[in-house]
Structure 1
Amino acid sequence: MKRKIQVGILGFGTVGSGVLRILKQHESKIKQITGEELNVKKVLVRNVEKKRGEFSEGIELTTNAADILMDEDIDIVVEVMGSIVQAKDYISQALKAGKHVVTANKDLIALHGNELVALANDYQCDLYYEASVAGGIPILRTIVDSLASDHIQKVFGIVNGTTNFMLSKMTNNNDTYEEALQKAQELGFAENDPTNDVDGIDAARKMVILTRLAFGMNVELEQIETRGIRDIQLADIEMAKRLGYRIKLIGAAIEKDNSVRVDVGPVLVPEDHPLAGVQNENNAVFVVGAAVGETMFYGPGAGALPTATSVVSDLITVAKNIGLGTTGTVFNSYQHETNLTEDKDVESKYYMAIDMQDQTGQFLELTKIFNESDVGFDQIIQQPFSKASAKVVIVTHRMNKAQQNRIINDLKKAEGMNLLVCFKVMEGK
């Protein structure tokens, strides 16, 4: 008689409880799809006395991870506890014990994914992490499986729900940054310390994973130009509207001549582009392939059940592999030499807001700075900023990163000029 596939879960927070709920509610369907019966045997918790509802009935709760990691009956370990150091240690122990692993830990996979994949390969175990990027959107499996035959050229989009929620409130309700952050924290979208979200770090880590799967290149976090949303003022959002744009925090990985450029930052998105309409905590990722063209994947980027759905999807894949005897193959085996695109080959239009002293010759000096870098103006608007200064908003023609860096350095050295913000401008649909 075929035995059940035994599962141990590390963590019983919102995602862990969501995983258990889905497994219980869709038990019959999962068994039909996989041909296997999945049974959650043990769950790691902080407090075994806490009441956890009907879905935890019949499951052993423990505060000792070793009870799961050393249990010879457990076939698959699900890690949904968060953290980096401890989670890495537990996953490493599980793989060395011959257990397959499913994780939703984007920080861990971004920082130590290659090491863990190599360890899984050494011990012929499965390691899946669909839920590490974009919550319930199956973007990783789409890249790895559905688009495996295509040459992917771009992956870009909104991959952080917290900042998109905040920018939605600032754009639609005229909330200040501080007001939008407070609402995000009250609803549980933002942590008490929101640094990883608002400074773009969370989005950058997701772009590490997306770049690795889409292009086979291992880009380090420090190689990603990363900016958050702290500097965005309501005045910038209103000006963007006036110019026909919406400001979104965009992560982008773009391939050019066998090299890749990855960045995260505020971008002026044309109001008729689908990304401009992505509201609140939702995520949306565009994948552009040479054959398939432009495809968009949209949905909830966080939350217990959306993320848990991706986790269970990975569990189903592992269960199928166990049943077929095909475990030990890596989630993604595509590798390519990592080459970073040079600054001179990275081009975009830019939105610049400059505080300029109201004195004779300032506009001439500003024009000279741009002329010396061979960059022209697409649009230029002047507004009063204070009694002694004006705010000049410029949308540039296309320029490369080398030109942009030179202009920024020249503005810093110029007397009576203060660059307030510099954001990329997305061109067309």
Structure 2
Amino acid sequence: MRKRWPFRLLLDSDGWSGDPNAADKKKAIEIWSLYSYNLHKATFQGLQNLPARKGKRNFIIGRGSFTGAQRFAGLWTGDNDSSWEFFNISVAQVLALGLAGVTIAGADVGGFEPIEGQQWADPELLIRWYCAYSLLPWFRNHYSAKKDKKLFQEPYAYRELQDKPDWQNVPEKDHNMYYSVLPVCRYMVQLRYSLLQLLYDAMFENMISGLPIARSMIITDPLDASLYQANQAYTRSQYLVRNDLLVAPALFKQSENSLRDSVPDRTRDDKDAPPNQITINVYPGKNNTYDMYLDDGVSRESAPGSAYLSSLSAGPQGLVDAYSGDTEANSIFRHVKFEQTTTRQFAKDQLRDTRCLTVSTPWAKYTDEQVKKDVGPEYRIVFWHSSKWPSAEMDLSAVIVNANPEVRHESDNALRATVVWVPVDANVNATIEVSYPVSYH
């Protein structure tokens, strides 16, 4: 059993000497969270002053926190165990922390401690945990491998178990579940890597707006009254990465759960959409914007500084805080904005939908040469068209308006897609229109 400080133990308050009302001593329960706060702050400042880390970003993660500690470190939720009960609350923990301003957060995937009678996590539990956590900010498989704890928790070890004596203790009905751990977990990790730009954009935006990376639906859809009534249960399990990707994991055993989800009104729900394999996918739907941020991924000078923040339009409160608080932030990044609008009108005695995408670069202190080195000479944009219209009746056309002549495109009626290649050069402000007839079936 772990020993803790008694609640009533008097400790040095470490208060400000200039405060005449400051107490010399305070009860432990009043100030013990300040220990982790000051530990994170001291670690942050210490790394900043190391010559080897000059001008570099530092990543700190801790399992204790206090209001404001997110300025210095992320948080993981401490030692959990490999139980469905811990897993069931783990997504809600991260969403709640995001609402409180702690946006880099997560739990030990798979559980840290074993539950009684087990030497490794249940294979279905590990699969579910990877599925739920692969797009949360802090994603780490972490467990106790000490004596009398767990033998393993790496996904590949579940397949290797069949070659070891312990395999004979695995019921035959569970064999397929053990075989499934490696391919499913590998897929979820690969999915995360394929969407790193989305996660990076969300993290970058967090420095500007303070909005969480993984967002509860009460943030992204505040006017949806059902989230406070009939659909309230979904607010603890579902989340959106930024405002762009809905994640609806199953938090129970397959035998105990029939997965249902709550899809926000503006979220695309088209099960026939091809896999997301390319850089920028644009789907049918309501008017929307997407902001992408590109930088070197390493330096602190790329953080948004006063020069960039002062260029932003006033927010809902009519104020823009141009003070970033980071003296090394120099806004050396690129901000690329994608804005889609959809209009419906009669043209040539025919009702047509026109989707217009504008690609612009509001901020470009990260140069063309640097961007081309990182992502290549072009952005590849794919317009996916609704499956409501049979491909044989689709007469797709792409019209490039006010664009660099190097912008090129092609349409594929069979895939119901139009692909457009836009140069990454900062001076290219391309407006792309894709039009097609409307018919109802």
Q: TM-score, normalised by structure 2?
A: 0.26
TM-score (norm 1): 0.27
Larger helix proportion of the pair: 1
Structure with higher Rg: it is 2
Higher relative contact order (CA 8 A, sep 6+): 1
